[in-house]
Amino acid sequence: MTVAQKVNAFLGKNGFACGGPNINAVIDSLLWDMKKGLNEGRAAEGAFVASQDMIPTFAMPPTERIVNKNVIVIDAGGTNFRACLVHFDAEGTYTISDLKKTAMPGIEREYGKKEFYDTIAKNLDHLKGKADSIGFCFSYAMSITPEGDGRVLDFSKEIKAKEVVGSLVGESLSAALVERGWEKPKKIILLNDTAAALLSGAASAKPGRLFSSYVGLILGTGMNAAYIESNPIKKIAGQKAPESQIVVCETGKFDKLPQSLFDIAYDKTTNTPGMYIIEKMCSGAYLGPVTGLALKQAAKDGLFSEAVAKDLLLIEKFELKDMDQFFFAPYNTDTLLGAIMAKGNQDDYDTCYALLDAFVERTARLAASIIAACVIKSEKGTQASLPVCVVTEGTTYFKTHNLQDRVKGYLNTVLMEERGLSFELVSPESAITLGAAVAALS
């Protein structure tokens, strides 16, 4: 019996697709869900409805270079809250200054609406009077108004602020700033981190480089994607909307794919059981804990030697960083898994590596499926010299062992080889900050 046979038998027994999910099948499912969400939204009645919000933003990338402007940028992410000043000079080159980073409100305990916005306003005190517009990257589900404000739909990434749901972020923050003695901001433009990433691709393109469209993917603490839709959007048919606009998919909510027993068990322990299914299968906040459940079950089922199994069952907290430390240096005894595996044999090392790698492989296939679905839905990339620019962001995407290379490889297969669609993966420096600044000044 080989290690691969043993691990695949274990995974199959627990409902985990051996070799990872079928990418084209996931693409098809995503495309159905995207179209359903654009036509009817998640509020449609019935058992078989869209799981992605498919949020129109009424925004497009800028057509002209931004020069001689200052703008305040806020980035409210999964763990950290960042605020800074962005300056565009006469050549359109941007610089970032006055950066302050604090904890995201609601990460440790429940926040009420007033306390939530008062805390954000307080975190901007060092930027008072330095610009009259604010670009606010708010990395949670919200509906965007034609004026650029955002109404909170719900929170992911374990943020605790139920009273904030339903509020207009820009309007509420503006009131909190005025309370602190600010002049009322000229405008506060809300956007998601995926829309910000997408916009950064357009703003940072080199002279002479043209793209037919743009896609943004965030794979960090959470997961999401955005693309440019050029067809009429049925669910906003009564509103004045541009011919083309950025759509934020809220891909993390996608639920039309099979879950393993590990995914189902972990989902029940979260603040949002039954929601954010694909996000909980592969984003940074969940990938470690879900894999940890698989390790413990494997220990119980006899896949490891007795000494190793005993210590695996004693692990209280398992995170993505513990996986990466083992991937990059399996025999380093200063890491959590390295120290445990040192008590066993070579099969223990190989079994652990193969088991962890199955979860990374699944993440790569799902991330590639999401990007591919967005490129296909954009209906662009049909000309080789005008590829779709895909901006990728997030620590999980960049730091997880072998993830980037696998995603690119799968995209080459399903987009270029099988469908003749051209794309280019890019990662501009400070992409989210740049995109949020561009949104506020466009």
The predicted-structure confidence for 335-364, as pLDDT tens digits, reads as follows 999 999 999 999 999 999 999 999 999 999
Indicate whether 111 pLDDT > 80. yes
Reported as half-sphere exposure (CB side, CA atoms, 13 A), residue 352 has a value of 30
pLDDT beyond 80 at 366: yes
Residue by residue, DSSP assigns 8-21 as HHHHHHTT--TT--
Evaluate the CA torsion angle 24, 26, 32, 38 in order and state its sign: negative
Q: In this predicted structure, what is the pLDDT of residue 157?
A: 59
Question: How do 245-248 and 223-229 pair as beta strands?
Answer: antiparallel
Nearest in space to 356 (alpha carbons), one of 411, 307, 293, 314? 293
Average pLDDT, the chain: 93
Residue 113: closest CA among 157, 73, 60, 167 = 167
Place of tokens 């490129």: 375
Name the range with the highest mean pLDDT among 41-45, 57-61, 242-246, 312-316: 312-316
Alpha carbon distance 338, 243 (integer Å): 55
More confident residue, 42 or 136: 136
What percentage of the chain has pLDDT greater than the value 90?
79
pLDDT at 298 over 70: yes
Which three-class secondary structure state does DSSP give residue 314?
Answer: coil
pLDDT for res 156: 65
Q: What is the mean pLDDT of residues 138-145?
A: 86
Q: Give bridge partners of residue 168 from the DSSP assignment.
A: 151
pLDDT digits 0-9 by tens, 369-411 = 999 999 999 999 999 999 999 999 999 999 999 999 999 999 9
**Cα–Cα distance, 52 to 298 (Å, whole number):** 33
Task: Report which secondary-structure segment, H or E, holds 218.
Answer: strand 213-219
Please name every residue paired with 133 in a beta bridge, in sequence order, or none if there are none.
187
With 0-12 / 13-18 / 19 or more C-beta atoms within 10 angstroms meaning exposed / middle / buried, residue 201 is buried
Sole residue written with tokens 């019935």: 46
pTM value > 0.95: no
Residue 239 binned pLDDT confidence (cut-offs 50, 70, 90)? confident
Res. 103 pLDDT band, cuts 50 70 90: confident
pLDDT for residue 241: 79
Note the pLDDT of residue 416: 98
Provide mean pLDDT across the span 1-28: 95
Q: What is the predicted pLDDT for the residue at 45?
A: 62
Tell whether the model's pLDDT for residue 43 goes beyond 70: no
pLDDT-wise least confident of 68-82, 214-228, 293-307, 335-349: 68-82
Question: What is the rounded average pLDDT of the residues 63-72?
Answer: 90
Element containing residue 250 per DSSP (H, E): none
In the chain, the percentage of residues whose pLDDT exceeds 70 is: 98
pLDDT (mean) for 284-293: 96
Helix (H) or strand (E) holding 418, with range, is helix 418-419
| CA–CA dist 389, 122 (Å, integer) | 37
Structural domains of the chain sorted by starting position, each given as residue range(s) with its CATH number in brackets: 69-196+432-441 (3.30.420.40)
As a whole number, mean pLDDT of residues 194-199 equals: 94
Q: How confident is the model at residue 42 (pLDDT cuts 50, 70, 90)?
A: low
388 neighbors 380 (Cβ within 8 angstroms) = yes
Do 178 and 210 meet the contact criterion of CB atoms below 8 Å apart?
Answer: no
Assigned token pair, 314: 């004693």
The pLDDT value recorded for residue 346 is: 97
The pLDDT value recorded for residue 225 is: 97
Mean pLDDT of 116-135: 96
Query: How does pLDDT run across 263-276, given as a tens digit for each residue?
Result: 999 999 998 899 99
Checking if the pLDDT of 248 tops 80, the result is yes
The pair phi, psi for residue 215, each rounded to 5°, is -135, 145
> Dihedral of CA 373/374/380/385: which sign?
negative
